[in-house]
């Protein structure tokens, strides 16, 4: 049986990402976005949350209902996929602070 693969180059780009996160991203249970560090919102939040400056990406549930946002966990990873920190949806939201990952190549065809 073949396995669904969303990103062709995920393992090459994020070599330190845990297998659980890799599998969850590849099967589209979780989403990954690039952090926009130049935005004022990120600059403000990174002063309050230790180690957030080291993060390059954020991983989160793409299916989380907005009313349960406070229960969501955002996993921040560095450029190699190493876990930097986790932040609760109670403490922040990601709006206007993230963008698509231009370095990750989505696989065109699935069998």
How would you class 23 by CB atoms within 10 Å of its CB: exposed for 0-12, middle for 13-18, buried for 19 or more? middle
Least Cα distance to 29 among 39, 18, 21, 19 occurs for 21
Element (H, E) at 58: strand 57-61
Per-residue model confidence (pLDDT) at position 93? 87
Q: What is the CA radius of gyration of the chain?
A: 14
Backbone angles phi and psi of 105, in degrees to 5: -100, 120
Q: What is the mean pLDDT of residues 21-38?
A: 95
How would you class 61 by CB atoms within 10 Å of its CB: exposed for 0-12, middle for 13-18, buried for 19 or more? middle
10 Å Cβ neighbour count for 90? Answer: 11
Q: What is the mean pLDDT of residues 74-89?
A: 96
10 Å Cβ neighbour count for 18? Answer: 14
Q: What is the mean pLDDT of residues 6-10?
A: 94
The percent of residues in the chain predicted with pLDDT above 90, rounded, is 73
Per-residue model confidence (pLDDT) at position 67? 82
pLDDT higher than threshold 80 for residue 33 = yes
Per-residue model confidence (pLDDT) at position 63? 84
pLDDT higher than threshold 90 for residue 12 = yes
Per-residue model confidence (pLDDT) at position 1? 37
């Amino acid at each position: 049986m073949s396995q669904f693969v969303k990103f062709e180059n995920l393992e090459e780009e994020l070599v330190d990402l845990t297998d659980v996160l890799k599998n969850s991203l590849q099967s589209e249970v979780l989403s990954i976005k690039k952090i926009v560090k130049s935005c004022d919102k990120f600059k403000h939040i990174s002063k309050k949350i230790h180690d957030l400056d080291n993060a390059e990406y954020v991983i989160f549930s793409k299916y989380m209902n907005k009313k349960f946002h406070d229960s969501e966990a955002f996993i921040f990873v560095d450029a190699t996929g190493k876990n930097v920190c986790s932040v609760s949806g109670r403490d922040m939201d990601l709006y206007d602070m993230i963008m698509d990952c231009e370095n990750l190549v989505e696989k065109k065809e699935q069998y």
